[in-house]
């Protein structure tokens, strides 16, 4: 199979077929069933074959930044074990795999020629995927900025966006003959506002103006990278971006709580959707943040450069957020699900409080609420009719353990995924053009500031031995992926 064999995600799609089993939910023909990972979280081998440090290497080695000083130095050793991991994907019936390319592995200083050994790793990975009839979906940036570029100012500087476009061209030239789907950025909100605003992610800076500058240059980098990809990829290749859009709910119907929703929607969602999909930043965002910056870093021509045609948009969803106006000592960033910091990741929204809704929660403390996914897809369908989507991340962390018989039983994760697939199926039936689902994550790995303390994987990893054990949820997901059908029977 080659990249040209991939079923296009654009254009007309066949209608969903009849349900094969009474009461079951049948997904449309050609629907992609996948899993996702990120380079720094799984690869290890951080100093091999020319790779230099990323901001996450530096951040994780800084005392107090990551749980118990964990780093991705070894991670789950995917750099050496990728063939074993691809066989696992095939055993799980996956039709697609979303991975990220490590920028400092490919272009160690963030500028200049590529390191061929780094590119060769991704060539071998993609070849292995295609040999197992698994369609590769490559993400160019999943947060691992070369430290050299951060030392020069990082994403708050315009030059980083320009370097990103050059890097995109390098990857397109190397992999475009075998990868049919590329994503520019993964969750730029986290890169900008957790990395430069609250400081809970790399590089750990806490400057709201730098965070807003970073947001713009991530947007600009996306647009320039789309242009570079289009120039270097064959006709028919698909280009996208993955966004962790926030599904927001007011605590009450009071006007001040509705205003809180508007403010968070501006800096959480429309800061990306506006320039990427409509060609302009929302005026209310500019007004909300006028006390911080005049946005003079947005140069003439930038909105047009950012507003590039996309073949689809990736949606990453885990939970909704409940917000209100701050009342009587509420903290401005309580229960937003993004780590603890004295600094807010929400510039222009200091008067907003976040609330933990009642009900079931994952090991991350995140609420389990699949209706948020349904609502979010409905909003995107209404606001951007005709735009295809993929669910590029969805999943949950739980306290998993290997049982006496060597198996890992994780019924809560199976229930979580099933409920979200039910919501997704309902959204598709109601008109949302969603063409695939990628479980987060393929396997347990380095979970950013939480280190190895949180397990999102469908596959359990014993970090001492690197032994992989598919969990019960993985076996259940494999049946769904192979059949394209969500069975009627409860978990």
Q: Which two tokens stand for residue 421?
A: 């697939």
Token pair, residue 431, equals 């008109």
Partners of 389 in beta bridges: 313, 434
Whole-number Å distance between alpha carbons of 46 and 253: 50
Residues in the chain: 491
Q: Which of 43, 150, 157, 393 is catalytic?
A: 393
Provide DSSP, 275-288.
Answer: IIIISS--HHHHHH
In DSSP terms, 177 is beta-bridged to none
Q: Which residues pair with 333 in a beta bridge?
A: none
Contact 54, 147 (CB under 8 A): yes
d(Cα 460, Cα 94) in Å, to the nearest integer?
17
- Residue 186 three-state SS: strand
Orientation angle between helical segments 472-483 and 411-429, nearest 10 degrees: 30
Q: Which residues contact 5 (CB under 8 A, 6 or more apart)?
A: none
Q: How many Å apart are CA 191 and CA 212, to the nearest integer?
A: 11
Give CA 134 to chain center in angstroms.
20
Tell me how far the alpha carbon of residue 431 is from its chain's centroid: 23
Residue among 128, 150, 187, 447 flagged as catalytic: 187
Token pair of 263, please? 């403010």
Beta-bridge partner residues of 321? 248
Question: Which distant-in-sequence residues (6+ apart) come within 8 Å of 382 by Cβ?
Answer: none
**194's tokens:** 């957790």
Nearest to 129 by CA among 79, 179, 195: 179
Tokens standing for residue 70? 């964990």
Give catalytic status of residue 393 as yes or no. Answer: yes
Please report which helix (H) or strand (E) contains residue 324, including its range: strand 321-325
Helix (H) or strand (E) holding 240: strand 238-243
- The side-by-side arrangement of strands in the sheet containing 248-250 is 248-250, 321-325, 352-355
Answer yes or no: 187 catalytic.
yes
| Residues with catalytic roles | 187, 393
């Amino acid at each position: 199979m080659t990249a040209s064999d991939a079923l296009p995600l654009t254009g007309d799609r066949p209608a969903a077929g009849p349900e094969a089993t009474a009461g079951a939910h049948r997904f449309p023909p050609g629907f992609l069933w996948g899993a996702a990972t990120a380079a720094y979280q799984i690869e290890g081998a951080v100093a091999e074959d020319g790779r230099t440090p990323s901001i996450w290497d530096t951040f994780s080695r800084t005392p107090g930044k990551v749980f118990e000083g964990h780093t991705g130095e070894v991670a789950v050793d995917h750099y050496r074990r990728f063939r074993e991991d691809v066989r696992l994907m095939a055993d799980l019936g996956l039709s697609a795999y979303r991975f990220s390319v490590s920028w400092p592995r490919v272009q160690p200083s963030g500028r200049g020629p590529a390191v061929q050994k780094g590119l060769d790793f991704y060539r071998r990975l993609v070849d292995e995927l295609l040999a197992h009839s698994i369609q590769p979906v490559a993400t160019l940036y999943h947060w691992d900025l070369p430290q050299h570029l951060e030392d020069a100012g990082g994403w708050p500087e315009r030059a980083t966006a320009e370097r990103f476009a050059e890097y995109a061209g390098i990857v397109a030239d190397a992999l475009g003959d075998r990868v049919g789907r590329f994503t520019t950025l993964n969750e730029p909100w986290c890169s900008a506002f957790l990395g430069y605003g609250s400081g809970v992610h790399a590089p750990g800076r806490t400057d709201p103006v730098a965070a807003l500058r970073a947001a713009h240059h991530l947007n600009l980098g996306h647009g320039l990278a789309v242009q570079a990809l289009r120039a270097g990829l064959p006709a028919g290749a698909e280009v996208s971006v993955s966004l962790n859009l926030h599904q927001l709910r007011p605590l009450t119907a009071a006007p001040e709580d509705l205003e809180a929703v508007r403010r968070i929607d501006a800096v959480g969602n429309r800061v990306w959707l506006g320039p990427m999909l409509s060609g302009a930043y929302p005026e209310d965002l500019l007004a909300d943040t006028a006390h911080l910056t005049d946005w003079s870093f947005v140069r003439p021509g930038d909105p047009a450069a950012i507003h590039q045609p996309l073949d689809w948009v990736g949606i990453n969803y885990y939970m909704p957020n409940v917000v209100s106006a701050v009342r009587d000592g509420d903290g401005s960033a309580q229960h937003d699900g993004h780590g603890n910091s004295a600094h807010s990741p929400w510039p222009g929204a200091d008067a907003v409080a976040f609330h933990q809704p009642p009900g079931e929660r994952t090991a991350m403390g995140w609420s389990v609420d699949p209706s948020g996914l349904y609502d979010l897809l409905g909003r995107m369908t209404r606001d951007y009719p005709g735009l295809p989507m993929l669910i590029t991340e969805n999943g949950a962390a739980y306290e998993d353990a290997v049982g006496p018989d060597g198996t890992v039983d994780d019924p809560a994760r199976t229930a979580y995924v099933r409920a979200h697939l039910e919501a997704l199926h309902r959204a598709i039936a109601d008109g949302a053009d969603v063409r695939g689902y990628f479980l987060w994550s393929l396997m347990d790995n380095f979970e950013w500031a939480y280190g190895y303390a949180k397990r999102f994987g469908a596959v359990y990893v014993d970090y001492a031995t690197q032994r992989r054990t598919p969990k019960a949820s993985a076996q259940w997901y494999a049946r769904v992926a192979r059949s394209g059908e969500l069975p009627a029977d409860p978990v």
